Structure 1
Amino acid sequence: MPLTLGPAVGPPAARYAGHGRLLLLGALPIVGCAVWGAADFVSLTRSVDGLPHDLSVAWLASLLLLWWVPLAWFERRIRAPRGRRAGLDALTVTVQIPVYNEDPAALRACLRSVLAQSRPVNRVRVVDDGSADRVTGEPLTYDDVRREFEAEAARRGVPTTWDRTENRGKRFAQMHVLAADDADIFLTLDSDSVLDRHAVREGLAPFADPRVQSVAGHVLVLNRTATLLTRLTCLLYLPLTRGLRSAQSVLRRVTINSGALAFYRADVVRRCAGAYENERFRGRPMQMNDDSMLTFYALLAGDTVHQPSSLVFTLVPERLGHYAKQQLRWMRGTTVRRLWWLRYMPLRGTVFWATVAEYLYLLLALVVPAVVIADPACRAHLGEFAPAAGRLWIAMNYLMALRLFTVRRADEPFAARLLTFALAPLAAVWRLLVLRPMHVYALLTCWRVNRWGTRGAVEVALPART
């Protein structure tokens, strides 16, 4: 009996809608409000007597360092020229899925979504990195999932492998099979992520350009209604997934693909075998931020882009403890990768200076509020500064949150999207009070690298949907 993507395990029906006229019209008043707030603040800082600091310069510099916010709106779905589509169909695509202490239902949904693609994949390679119960130490097996998957793959004529290795980390699990695989394109997919039916077709389109070495998928939250934290995560993802990454894609210099879904020219991955899984930082093995390292190799080889129409739905943390560990792992890994960009990226290139801009923005974000609070003259005029800064702050966050409406999901009515959109200021407060201090802490403790980081046991289970 063929497998079917039932409502309890399949991805929600979704469509990338792009930047429609209504969305662009909605951006106009928000941009106007942001400009008003910025001009008002600059005017105030220049007109108040006795200020020892010209805050207008710092404020304008902070806005300029957010160059990616407006540039992200120029991103468009990448389409393959008509004459090159046949070449894309001829590409051999290998999907590699590393597994470690995964929820069996989530893994089943992941594998089913791979086999249900409108553009079939050519082979699937699953590697279980020694999954085990943290308490008993007994191996966690996925016998039923494996049996079901292999039977359906055989029915569809898709070759598969399923290996179990000792626990050495995600990179070793990936390279266990990819180093010797002869495919044209490698697709890396997290075991807690579920592909949209057309994800592979859309993700391959940019490879019609021979300069493109990697393609980042568009990541969406699968368990978005589980808790308030998961709802906030839908907004917290946007500055990266549909902000900075989209802007970088316009420049063809995406620096971090998401591990949830990414495509690579296979030669890029094969060439880094040995170095990739054995990266070290300050003498310690570096297994986190595998996605940024593979993207780094792709950047050295050519162009890296984001495909907004290649959709993947991923499980995100539902508990604060799990969320904090995940964020620290990502932040520490990105801190290390930025050092790599500063060292190896061309001095005149976009990546180098964008990295410098990120550090300058973080510095200004810490210094400007400190100056306003510490200086008596600034403190005396907080009642005037606050409304202007507040208008700008709210407008910028709503401008980013508008990107929620570029994807239409069958499991998310328009009213639900409006509710999430309304939470944009709350997400901004979370970034300010929770993520920014964590970011500073991660910078100071970036050598604390580890392997998988968050999965001593199954952390998030697949939600049942009706």
Structure 2
Amino acid sequence: MANRTRRHGAGSGARGGSRRRRLPLRLLLPVSVLVALVAMLMLRGYVHSEILADHRIRPPAPTGTVPQKILDGGPVIDTRAGRTETMSVPDHHLVLTFDDGPDPTWTPRVLDVLKEHDAHAVFFVTGTMASRYPDLVRRMVDEGHEVGLHTFNHPDLSYQSTSRIDRELAQNQLALTGAAGIRTSLFRPPYSSFADAMDDASWPVTRYIGSRGYLTVVNNTDSEDWKKPGVDEIIRRATPQGGKGAIVLMHDSGGDRHQTVQALDRFLPDLQKQGYAFDNLTEALDLPSAHTPVTGTDLWTGKAWTFLVQASEKVTDVLVVGLAVIGFLVIGRFGLMLLLSAVHARRVRRTGFAWGPPVTEPVSVLVPAYNEAKCIENTVRSLMTSDHPIEILVIDDGSTDGTARIVEAMGLPGVRVIRQLNAGKPAALNRGLANARYDIVVMMDGDTVFEPSTVRELVQPFGDPRVGAVAGNAKVGNKDTLIGAWQHIEYVMGFNLDRRMYDVLGCMPTIPGAVGAFRRSALERVGGMSDDTLAEDTDVTMALHRDGWKVVYAENARAWTEAPESVQQLWSQRYRWSYGTMQAIWKHRRALVERGPSGRFGRVGLPFVSLFMVVAPLLAPLIDIFLLYGIVFGPAGKTITAWFGVLALQAVCAAYAFRLDREHTSHLISLPLQQILYRQLMYVVLLQSWITALTGGRLRWQKLRRHGGVSAPPGPSGPSGPSARPAPALHGGPAR
């Protein structure tokens, strides 16, 4: 995975209209993949008859309009070109017919028995099954059997309009063409019986079918194998009396057909010994073949259809596996979060719990800033209320909006401004680190505000000499908008509940840039802040783990940050986070095979981060895709219940997280919509990140537009609360 340098802010070319014009192009591929997946599922649902299936069966009707010669005639009815004729199979000829296939289990066994006994048959296939198993249709034709149509979706045609009948025939032929390159002139209506069962409801359909050029084939000997009456009974019912010819109805699909196969294996040789021939229908009737080769555009259209159906089957199989994986990850993650967060909460509440001796020595607070004119004053003033001794270093990374001048004009004690040419956030942090006076260094963003107790709470874990870094509790300050409320849920439920879990597991993946603290000696040992990735906070955290340092979470060290306020800005931020996280995972991949602390982190931390931060969000849209599939194709009730079950589990985790963070739960009302839309957003973000990574594309740092909406830490612990008091800030030297 290529490493990319970047800056706090992109140049003018990255901020103008050209970037907005490129946005649809960079979204095109991931959105196209999502649409293609949905289309494949829709095609599968259609082919599996889960939307158009009509299982109504019309009861017997009067026969007043049916010609008597049809009722008294043979099982082959010819109404083509205005004819009203029937035909019967000659004596000592049997035409075996098999309905409803092909079936991947039973049709091959039927074909094997027929081949063994040198017998032919007619297979009346449905379009849905022929589309799914074209190889079996091709085998039927190659082995000399005839194939007839049995509609696409197997409805009772007496309930259907002529346009629906035409569609059933056309799609059945399309599947047959794609499978075997032929058309057929044979047709058997679903739920048909003997000719004398023709009535006023089915006769108009038969006449219409004839007008479309088809012979209608019913039967005059029914094995009733679908009832599974036993092998002997199937043979008895299938055997004609007195050497007469017959069309025998059997089934090679629709359920367990082992009795049919066993009966066939005895029936064929027994009747062949009695002088019976098992022919195709047209052979028995001495008619031209029912098959007509298809060429040209029609052939390729049919092949394209079967190819797409086969692709939809394979894609759906993969998606089902993906759904199982994401289901396991979601349930597993939430289970772990609830369990380990409870362990973490009990540890924090435990009487007498302490990291070690209280940390009271001064610390350095580094504030890298690029064009933060709207936010920087609030940020610095919040630090001035700190109840822990600090020095404040604002590192202006080549701002063009007067950020440095604003801080200097404030004239606050203990605040130093360090100017540098625009070199990126890691360089700014390293510059601040070089100028910091104290061994503990707190880092925050220029759009973030601290509570008075934040620094004190953040540095207490350094009482344990094994602790190299501490993650604070980053919270959304501008949560009054819908997008802000969604991010508030994500921060409280996703990030902070995750951090409690990772804290217990000892594999905290990221010290948030908005609120984190480091031991200077630990940073120096890993080479400081690196610009190898777009997620320098994740990169350095992983490096500290590999160097043997403990990285922990201080939940009471709260910081309030300004979250993106538009989908465009949110997309840009998460794209950078996702791509940077993937870079960091790739950079530290050798930890998987190393020994010691690095190996422990590699075999615990890296898999967790990869599964929960990369794989799970990438697969999460499958939950909503299958919700749509289930609603459209069924079973809708079970699908909706399962989806709400997952949502309920998320709601439980979210409510518990809000309770731990002492947050009002009113924002959780938007959780269902947040879950649906965020899944799609993170899918697009992660897929685009993968594309960027695999193609070696460049991703520039994109400066988010800030509005300065977070003016003070909300709540009773803010500047207006009882804990507010002047900061014991230390006087610094001249600005550099």
TM norm structure 2: 0.47
CA distance in 2, matches of 1:118, 1:313: 17
Does 1:72 find its partner at 2:341? Answer: yes
Alignment deviations for residues 236-257 of structure 1 (CA, whole Å, 9 cap, x no partner):
2234322222200112221111
Aligned to 1:198: 453
CA distance in 1, matches of 2:355, 2:652: 40
CA distance in 2, matches of 1:125, 1:58: 46
Aligned to 2:360: 89
CA distance in 2, matches of 1:445, 1:428: 25
**Cα displacement (A) at 1:386:** 2.6
Does 1:127 find its partner at 2:391? Answer: no
Equivalent of 1:267, from 506, 521, 526? 521
CA gap 1:277/1:388 in 2 versus in 1, 3 angstroms: closer
Aligned to 1:110: 379
Higher relative CO (Cα under 8 Å, sequence separation at least 6) belongs to 1
Does the CA-based 8 Å contact 2:508-2:552 persist in structure 1? yes
CA gap 1:251/1:117 in 2 versus in 1, 3 angstroms: same
Aligned to 1:414: none
**Cα displacement (A) at 1:200:** 1.1
Equivalent of 2:702, from 453, 457, 462? 453
CA distance in 2, matches of 1:175, 1:331: 23
Q: Secondary structure at the match of 2:357?
A: helix
Alignment deviations for residues 362-394 of structure 1 (CA, whole Å, 9 cap, x no partner):
57646677789889xx95434323312322223
Write the letter of the residue equivalent to 2:682.
L
CA distance in 1, matches of 2:626, 2:353: 53
Q: Secondary structure at the match of 1:96?
A: strand
Does 1:437 find its partner at 2:684? Answer: yes
Aligned to 2:408: 146
Unmatched 5+ residue regions in structure 1? 1-48, 134-139, 280-285, 410-416
Equivalent of 1:169, from 407, 410, 424? 424
Aligned to 2:22: none
Alignment deviations for residues 309-348 of structure 1 (CA, whole Å, 9 cap, x no partner):
0000011111222222111111111111122343325455
Does the CA-based 8 Å contact 2:387-2:456 persist in structure 1? yes
Does the CA-based 8 Å contact 1:179-1:269 persist in structure 2? no
**Cα displacement (A) at 1:195:** 0.4
CA distance in 2, matches of 1:293, 1:115: 30
Aligned to 1:101: 371
Does the CA-based 8 Å contact 2:621-2:683 persist in structure 1? no
Does the CA-based 8 Å contact 2:372-2:447 persist in structure 1? yes
CA gap 1:129/1:74 in 2 versus in 1, 3 angstroms: same
Does 1:331 find its partner at 2:578? Answer: yes
Aligned to 1:230: 484
**Cα displacement (A) at 1:204:** 1.2
Does the CA-based 8 Å contact 2:450-2:558 persist in structure 1? yes
Instruction: Give the aligned CA root-mean-square deviation in angstroms.
Output: 3.4
Does the CA-based 8 Å contact 1:394-1:425 persist in structure 2? no
Write the letter of the residue equivalent to 2:366.
Q
Q: Secondary structure at the match of 1:313?
A: strand
CA distance in 2, matches of 1:262, 1:328: 22
CA gap 1:304/1:386 in 2 versus in 1, 3 angstroms: same
Q: Which stretch shows the higher mean deviation, 346-355 or 260-269? A: 346-355
Does the CA-based 8 Å contact 1:199-1:309 persist in structure 2? yes
CA distance in 2, matches of 1:201, 1:449: 40
Write the letter of the residue equivalent to 1:218.
N
CA distance in 1, matches of 2:399, 2:659: 38
CA gap 1:211/1:131 in 2 versus in 1, 3 angstroms: same
Which aligned pairs between 1:208-247 and structure 2 lie closer than 5 A?
208-225=463-480, 227-247=481-501
CA distance in 2, matches of 1:236, 1:261: 17
Write the letter of the residue equivalent to 2:328.
A
Q: Which stretch shows the higher mean deviation, 60-69 or 236-245? A: 60-69
Determine what percentage of the aligned residue pairs are the same residue. Answer: 21
Does the CA-based 8 Å contact 2:396-2:404 persist in structure 1? no
CA distance in 2, matches of 1:321, 1:268: 37
CA distance in 2, matches of 1:291, 1:84: 26
Write the letter of the residue equivalent to 1:146.
E
Q: Which stretch shows the higher mean deviation, 399-408 or 231-240? A: 399-408
Write the letter of the residue equivalent to 1:89.
T
CA distance in 1, matches of 2:623, 2:506: 32
**Cα displacement (A) at 1:219:** 0.8
Does 1:248 find its partner at 2:505? Answer: no
Q: Which stretch shows the higher mean deviation, 176-185 or 299-308? A: 176-185
Aligned to 1:27: none
CA distance in 2, matches of 1:60, 1:113: 43
Does the CA-based 8 Å contact 1:180-1:270 persist in structure 2? no
CA distance in 1, matches of 2:688, 2:537: 22
Q: Secondary structure at the match of 2:485?
A: helix
Unmatched 5+ residue regions in structure 2? 1-254, 257-312, 593-597, 713-719, 721-736
CA distance in 1, matches of 2:619, 2:668: 27
Aligned to 1:15: none
Write the letter of the residue equivalent to 1:174.
L
CA distance in 1, matches of 2:677, 2:628: 20
CA distance in 1, matches of 2:626, 2:487: 31
CA distance in 1, matches of 2:433, 2:443: 10
Q: Which stretch shows the higher mean deviation, 392-401 or 256-265? A: 392-401
Does 1:320 find its partner at 2:553? Answer: no
CA distance in 2, matches of 1:81, 1:360: 36
**Cα displacement (A) at 1:131:** 0.8
Q: Secondary structure at the match of 2:412?
A: helix
CA distance in 1, matches of 2:629, 2:670: 31
Bigger-Rg structure (1/2): 2
CA distance in 1, matches of 2:494, 2:355: 33
Does the CA-based 8 Å contact 1:184-1:267 persist in structure 2? yes
**Cα displacement (A) at 1:128:** 0.5
**Cα displacement (A) at 1:57:** 6.3
**Cα displacement (A) at 1:101:** 0.8
Write the letter of the residue equivalent to 1:85.
P
Does the CA-based 8 Å contact 1:219-1:258 persist in structure 2? yes
Does the CA-based 8 Å contact 1:342-1:355 persist in structure 2? no
CA distance in 1, matches of 2:355, 2:511: 28
Q: Which stretch shows the higher mean deviation, 308-317 or 201-210? A: 201-210
CA distance in 2, matches of 1:222, 1:419: 15
CA distance in 1, matches of 2:433, 2:326: 48
CA gap 1:444/1:182 in 2 versus in 1, 3 angstroms: same
CA gap 1:143/1:61 in 2 versus in 1, 3 angstroms: closer
CA distance in 1, matches of 2:407, 2:398: 16
Aligned to 1:61: 328
CA distance in 2, matches of 1:166, 1:113: 26
Equivalent of 1:299, from 540, 545, 554? 545
CA distance in 2, matches of 1:180, 1:78: 37
Does the CA-based 8 Å contact 2:426-2:536 persist in structure 1? yes
CA distance in 2, matches of 1:401, 1:448: 40
Alignment deviations for residues 287-316 of structure 1 (CA, whole Å, 9 cap, x no partner):
x21211221222123111111100000111
Does the CA-based 8 Å contact 1:68-1:243 persist in structure 2? no
Q: Secondary structure at the match of 1:75?
A: helix
CA distance in 1, matches of 2:412, 2:553: 31
CA distance in 1, matches of 2:383, 2:588: 33
Does the CA-based 8 Å contact 1:65-1:357 persist in structure 2? no
CA distance in 2, matches of 1:83, 1:131: 39
CA distance in 1, matches of 2:563, 2:355: 39
Aligned to 2:35: none
